[in-house]
């Protein structure tokens, strides 16, 4: 009987631990591999997955189907409406096909971990071995410990250990072998499994034709596109990464986050490829840009490790529990202005409009807009976290939650609460010429010089802004800063 691999957030053939193990066992037994992908619209709803990301996944699944088919491996695709039925359906399929071994890659959020645990039991009852694999992180969660044997809650010492662990366990970064072609005759015997069609986007996640055109051009899906993007970035841009990564108009970062989130690219592949592009062939030393980029990919591992150790962060709680008592504002008009990019702070507005149009936002801008929501508007950071996840093509619980926790000072290893970004200074520093603002806030495109950062502080610029209907700042900077300091201080004091 065949060996089954259940695809989830690992939509690729190359460097895929679960798939590779499934193929290895199949070869040993002289049988074929079957891939399964079960779509659950209810699961997408429950996790607030953005339409852009759903579409990216569906496009990637189709490309995965084609890649697998070249190896005579079928990808069986089915829609399971209710998410609770997904695991039952998987067990049923395995039994129907007389499969005795099922592989997948672990997902670390509590619901997913519990599901994986149930599956081990339920499959075993039917005589099936279910083997979830560590694959999503370069270093599996749980192995890096402080001197006192605890999980790190601070990035820098964790990162030093992460590097040394990978140097002493180099096999963790080895490329997982690509599956061999299924045995002769497999395709003929199981022809019906090759007929699967990728479903349409469910109505609640639909995109307009215009949105599709934009998103498909910006974010080509599938693993070939991911590897292509990675290769170009490492060949052309990584050298200047440290110097350029904070400037949104330069398009100087890897732009592979959507691939990491859908698993069309493994974090391991990124780290290994960057290491191999380094002059030292190591994760440290050598080129500063390479080192810097590796440390960003490592943040993704860090936030996952944190999530596994402190799963309460998945339950709407801040990592720092003493920050539970902050008294937030309730101001729907402010929240709406923030989402629409109409706060009167040009860098914030440009960033939010770029998110709404491209389903992506540059990291510096994520920090600026998140800080603005939680500190200037003093709105609960969870509103922003939710808005991001429902709109990002790279939406990923751990990284998004980590980023929001960092920027709102309520998370793990955060920005101290008294560090409040001044949006105008951030704008002057990271969008020097106002190029990014001019791209996204056309009302201000005729504003000359530095006034673009804060048009209502300049006589001429304010005339242009007003004429074109650009809003005045919805909160006054100094007042907002003081209010934030007071509220945070009082909230923490109420512990």
**Catalytic (active-site) positions:** 296, 299, 328, 363, 381, 404
CA 205/CA 393 separation, integer angstroms: 12
Which of 254, 246, 250, 292 has its CA nearest to residue 426?
246
- C-alpha distances out from residue 223 to 78, 155, 236, 442, Å: 21, 29, 20, 36
Is 105 a binding residue for ligand FAD by CB under 6 A? The answer is no
Is 376 a binding residue for ligand FAD by CB under 6 A? The answer is no
Q: Which of 254, 289, 341, 473 binds ligand FAD (CB under 6 A)?
A: 254
- The reply to whether 33 sits in an annotated binding site is no
b/e map 212-238, b = 16+ CB within 10 Å: bebbeeebbbbbbbbbebbeebbeebb
Segment lying near ligand FAD (by CB under 6 A), choices 70-78, 188-196, 293-301, 425-433: 293-301
Q: Which of 21, 53, 260, 334 binds ligand FAD (CB under 6 A)?
A: 260
Angle 248-254-255 (CA atoms, 0-180°, nearest 5)?
Answer: 70
Q: Which 184-203 residues touch ligand FAD, going by CB under 6 A?
A: none
Is 491 a binding residue for ligand FAD by CB under 6 A? The answer is no
Residue pair 213/57 in contact (Cβ under 8 Å)? The answer is no
b/e map 84-105, b = 16+ CB within 10 Å: eebbeebbebbeebebbbbbbb
Q: Which of 44, 303, 319, 436 binds ligand FAD (CB under 6 A)?
A: 303
Is 437 a binding residue for ligand FAD by CB under 6 A? The answer is no
Torsion angles phi and psi, residue 4, rounded to 5: -110, 140
Q: Work out the end-to-end distance of the chain between its first and last CA atoms, rounded to an integer number of angstroms.
A: 59
CA 129/CA 140 separation, integer angstroms: 22
Phi-psi region of 185 (alpha: psi -120 to 50; beta: other; left: phi over 0): left
- The reply to whether 395 sits in an annotated binding site is yes
Q: Which of 60, 253, 391, 427 binds ligand FAD (CB under 6 A)?
A: 253
Is 367 a binding residue for ligand FAD by CB under 6 A? The answer is yes
- The reply to whether 366 sits in an annotated binding site is no
The residue of the chain with the least Cβ separation from ligand FAD equals: 403
Torsion angles phi and psi, residue 384, rounded to 5: -70, -40
CB contact set of 408 (below 8 Å; sequence gap of 6+): 370, 371, 373, 374, 375, 381, 384, 414
x/- contact string, 315-354, with ligand FAD (CB under 6 A)?
A: ----------------------------------------
Is 403 a binding residue for ligand FAD by CB under 6 A? The answer is yes
Is 453 a binding residue for ligand FAD by CB under 6 A? The answer is no
SS3 130: strand
Q: In what order do the strands lie in the sheet with 3-6?
A: 75-79, 33-39, 3-6, 101-105, 129-133
Q: Which of 99, 196, 351, 370 binds ligand FAD (CB under 6 A)?
A: 370
Which of 62, 80, 88, 73 has its CA nearest to residue 19?
73
Segment lying near ligand FAD (by CB under 6 A), choices 71-79, 144-152, 292-300, 425-433: 292-300
Q: Which of 56, 299, 319, 387 binds ligand FAD (CB under 6 A)?
A: 299
Is 300 a binding residue for ligand FAD by CB under 6 A? The answer is yes
Is 205 a binding residue for ligand FAD by CB under 6 A? The answer is no
- The reply to whether 302 sits in an annotated binding site is yes
Select 264 or 454, whichever has its Cβ closest to ligand FAD: 264
Known binding positions for FAD? 241, 253-257, 293, 296-303, 394-396
Known binding positions? 241, 253-257, 293, 296-303, 394-396
Which residue ranges make up the site for ligand FAD (CB under 6 A)? Answer: 245, 253-257, 260-261, 296-297, 299-300, 303, 362-363, 366-367, 370, 388, 392, 394-396, 399-400, 402-404, 407
């Amino acid at each position: 009987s065949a060996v089954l691999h259940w695809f989830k957030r690992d939509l690729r053939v190359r460097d895929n631990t679960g798939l590779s193990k499934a193929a290895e066992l199949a070869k040993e037994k002289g049988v074929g591999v079957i891939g399964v992908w079960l779509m659950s619209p209810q699961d997408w709803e429950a996790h607030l997955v953005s339409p852009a990301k759903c579409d990216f996944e569906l496009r990637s699944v189709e490309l995965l189907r084609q890649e697998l088919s070249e190896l005579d491996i079928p990808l069986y695709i089915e829609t399971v409406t209710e998410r609770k039925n997904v695991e039952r359906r998987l067990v049923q399929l395995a039994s129907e096909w007389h499969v005795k071994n099922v592989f997948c890659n672990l997902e670390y959020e509590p619901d997913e971990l519990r599901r994986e645990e149930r599956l081990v039991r339920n499959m075993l009852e039917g005589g099936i071995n279910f083997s979830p694999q560590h694959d999503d992180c370069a270093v599996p969660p749980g192995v890096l410990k402080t001197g006192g044997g605890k999980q790190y809650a601070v990035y820098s010492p964790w990162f030093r250990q992460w590097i040394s662990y990978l140097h002493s366990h180099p096999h963790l970064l080895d490329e997982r072998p690509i599956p061999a072609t299924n045995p002769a005759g497999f395709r003929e015997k199981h022809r019906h499994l090759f007929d699967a069609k990728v479903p349409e986007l469910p109505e609640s996640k639909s995109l307009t034709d215009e949105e599709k055109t934009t998103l498909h051009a910006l974010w080509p899906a599938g693993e070939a596109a991911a590897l292509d993007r990675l290769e170009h970035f490492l060949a052309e841009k990584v050298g200047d990464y440290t110097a350029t990564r904070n400037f949104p108009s330069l398009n100087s970062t890897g732009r592979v986050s959507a691939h990491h989130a859908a698993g069309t690219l493994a974090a391991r592949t990124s780290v290994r490829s960057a290491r191999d592009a380094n002059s030292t062939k190591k994760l440290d030393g050598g080129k500063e840009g390479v080192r810097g980029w590796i440390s960003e990919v490592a943040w993704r591992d860090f936030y996952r490790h944190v999530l596994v150790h402190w799963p309460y962060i998945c339950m709407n709680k801040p990592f720092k529990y003493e920050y539970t008592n902050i008294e937030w504002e309730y101001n729907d008009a402010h929240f709406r202005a923030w989402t629409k990019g109409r706060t009167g702070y040009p860098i914030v507005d440009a960033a939010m409009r770029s998110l709404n149009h491209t389903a992506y936002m540059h990291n510096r801008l994520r920090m600026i807009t998140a800080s603005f929501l939680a500190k200037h508007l003093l709105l609960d950071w969870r509103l922003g976290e939710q808005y991001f996840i429902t709109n990002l093509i790279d939406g990923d619980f751990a990284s998004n939650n980590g980023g929001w926790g960092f920027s709102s000072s309520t998370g793990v290893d955060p920005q101290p609460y008294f560090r409040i970004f001044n949006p105008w200074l951030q704008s002057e520093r990271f969008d020097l010429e106002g190029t990014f603002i001019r791209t996204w806030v056309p009302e201000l495109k005729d504003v000359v010089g530095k006034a673009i950062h804060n048009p209502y502080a300049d006589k001429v610029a304010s005339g242009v802004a007003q004429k074109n209907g650009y809003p005045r700042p919805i909160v006054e900077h100094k007042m907002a800063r003081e209010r934030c300091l007071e509220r945070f201080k009082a909230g923490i004091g109420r512990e």
